[in-house]
Chains A and B, each alone.
Chain A
Amino acid sequence: MIQFLHRLLWFVILLLVQVLILNHLHIDGYGTPVLFIYYIFMLNAETPRISVMLQAFCLGLCVDIFSNTPGMNASACTLLAFVRRGLLASQVDRDINEDYEPGIRIMGFWPFSRYIFIGSILYVLVWQTIDTFSFFRIGELVFKILASTATTMLCILCVDTIRRKK
């Protein structure tokens, strides 16, 4: 029960921070940090795949509702949740069924950064491609993807560091 409330609190806080603050941030007109996918990254490693996907889908849909892009973030989130387990397994030597929350302290800085990097670039790639819906301005698209990934990673690493210090 406590665990559930804890999750719910994270869900709501990340959602609000994303839609009220971060969605209006455009660093140099391009990079928008997508901090809310931290929720998907930090779910317990033993959480069943189906549960991760459903939670990710709901989170994505909520963000979509606020930003008038129904389906856009939801599909990218579902994809991220789908590949999460494989991604995690490729970066950690532990047994995949072990009970732990992915984070800097448990995984180490570099494995966790690689995990976040691959996950967020995948997410931003899908999200920005759907948004632009053409490869007409490929340079601008690539720049947007790189800028968003960089700011997203920075935000997630900061939040994770602060969270573990408590």
Chain B
Amino acid sequence: MRNLLNFLLKYNYWLLFIILEVFSLVLLFRFNSYQGSAFFTSANYVSGILYEGVSEITSYFGLHTLNRDLVQRNVKLELEVERLSQALKEYTKDTTVISQMRRDVLQDYKVFSARVVNNSLNRTDNYITINRGSSDGVLPEMGVIGGNGVVGIVYHTSSHFAVVLPVLNSKSSISCKIHRTDYFGLLRWDGGDSQYAWVKDVPRHSEFTLGDTVVTSGHSSVFPEGIPVGVVDDMSDSHDGLSYLLKVRLFTDFARLNDVCVISSKGQKEQAGLEDSISIK
């Protein structure tokens, strides 16, 4: 016993080394679980405040291009709405339907605007920190979209900040479909270029061409249907040869991400609860 104690005293730094390493590895692997606390993430109070201050300054730098993008998109959408409402008017001969539909769209979803305060691009698992948290009503599993398309899903929240799991994370998996033909697959990213992601598990018999738009499918209740994701850039066979693997050029430019929206759908909890109850059995 005394020998053991002497040994431990003499090599106490070995002991400390092992303890510290084990502690860090536990932290590293615990972070994968959803229940992990937000304390060891950039959503904690001090780092959140610091990042917010810096982003307050740096958000001015890209305003010019951001503004131009928004105006262009606005014009495009306005023209589209105009054309669609014209068509609808001819079809139904009734103008009250349109205003009714507009109200319905916003009834099912709540939208919170938020600003990106921290962002990373070229690790295998990237995360985004935004300046809205549980006290603003933002909860894990809500969808996050940018001006041009899908950004990711809320992962951890503290009271004033939230960490978002963006498309550019190997753990992210978003259900999406080809806009024209409605065949769906899963959007994944496995490192590399931040402008491209992959749609997996697209069935062999599906029809699509290069250049088709990919949008969210609305199956998962995280995102509403039809939020733009990207354009099919290239296609190949999956490793097992049973499905197609589509290379998608993402609409969202993650390197210039600044203002985003968090969407929460009203039926999300109910649908998730129902699906969980099935998978337990």
Chain A binder among B12-20, B221-229, B233-241, B269-277: B12-20
Residues of B within 8 A of A19 (CB): 47
Residues of A within 8 A of B44 (CB): 65
> Quick check: is A111 within 8 A (CB to CB) of the other chain?
no
Total interface residues on A, using CB and 8 Å? Answer: 34
Selected contact of A68 from candidates B20, B121, B127, CB within 8 Å: B127
B13 touches A70 (CB 8 A): no
> Quick check: is B136 within 8 A (CB to CB) of the other chain?
no
A140 to B124, CA, bound (A): 12
> Quick check: is B89 within 8 A (CB to CB) of the other chain?
no
A67 touches B21 (CB 8 A): no
Q: How far is the CB of A54 from chain B (nearest CB, A)?
A: 8
> Quick check: is A133 within 8 A (CB to CB) of the other chain?
yes
Give A75's nearest chain B residue, CB to CB: B24
Within 8 A of A (CB), among B24-64: 24-31, 40-42, 44, 47, 50-51, 54
Q: How far is the CB of A66 from chain B (nearest CB, A)?
A: 5
B124 touches A131 (CB 8 A): yes
Selected contact of A71 from candidates B26, B42, B54, CB within 8 Å: B26
Q: With A65-B44, A71-B26 in contact, is A53–B17 under 8 Å at CB?
A: yes
Residues of B within 8 A of A26 (CB): 121-122
> Quick check: is A139 within 8 A (CB to CB) of the other chain?
no
Give B126's nearest chain A residue, CB to CB: A68
A71 touches B25 (CB 8 A): yes
Q: How far is the CB of B47 from chain A (nearest CB, A)?
A: 5
> Quick check: is B206 within 8 A (CB to CB) of the other chain?
no
A49 touches B13 (CB 8 A): yes
Q: With A26-B122, A29-B122, A71-B26 in contact, is A65–B31 under 8 Å at CB?
A: no
Q: How far is the CB of A62 from chain B (nearest CB, A)?
A: 9
A124 to B50, CA, bound (A): 26
B28 touches A82 (CB 8 A): no
Residues of B within 8 A of A133 (CB): 124
> Quick check: is B147 within 8 A (CB to CB) of the other chain?
no
Within 8 A of B (CB), among A114-144: 130-133, 137, 140
Most B CB contacts (10 A, CB to CB) among A23, A57, A66, A79 go to A66
B122 touches A50 (CB 8 A): no
> Quick check: is B180 within 8 A (CB to CB) of the other chain?
no
Size category, B interface? 35 or more
Q: How far is the CB of A154 from chain B (nearest CB, A)?
A: 19
A70 touches B40 (CB 8 A): yes
A61 to B39, CA, bound (A): 12
Q: How far is the CB of A93 from chain B (nearest CB, A)?
A: 24
> Quick check: is B154 within 8 A (CB to CB) of the other chain?
no
A72 to B192, CA, bound (A): 20
> Quick check: is A74 within 8 A (CB to CB) of the other chain?
yes
Give A137's nearest chain B residue, CB to CB: B191
B27 touches A70 (CB 8 A): yes
> Quick check: is A159 within 8 A (CB to CB) of the other chain?
no
Residues of B within 8 A of A103 (CB): none
> Quick check: is A78 within 8 A (CB to CB) of the other chain?
yes
B13 touches A53 (CB 8 A): yes
> Quick check: is B163 within 8 A (CB to CB) of the other chain?
yes
Residues of B within 8 A of A49 (CB): 13
A78 to B28, CA, bound (A): 14
Q: With A30-B122, A50-B16 in contact, is A68–B24 under 8 Å at CB?
A: no
Residues of B within 8 A of A130 (CB): 28
Selected contact of B24 from candidates A30, A66, A78, CB within 8 Å: A78
Within 8 A of A (CB), among B114-157: 118, 120-125, 127, 129
Selected contact of A131 from candidates B16, B24, B54, B123, CB within 8 Å: B123
Interface contacts beyond A71-B29, A82-B13: sample of 5 additional A-B pairs, CB < 8 Å, sorted by A = A26-B122, A66-B42, A66-B51, A70-B31, A71-B24
5 inter-chain pairs at a CB distance below 8 angstroms, sorted by A residue, are A60-B24, A66-B51, A67-B42, A70-B30, A78-B21
B residues adjacent to A (C-beta < 8 A): 12-13, 16-17, 20-21, 23-31, 40-42, 44, 47, 50-51, 54, 118, 120-125, 127, 129, 163, 191-192
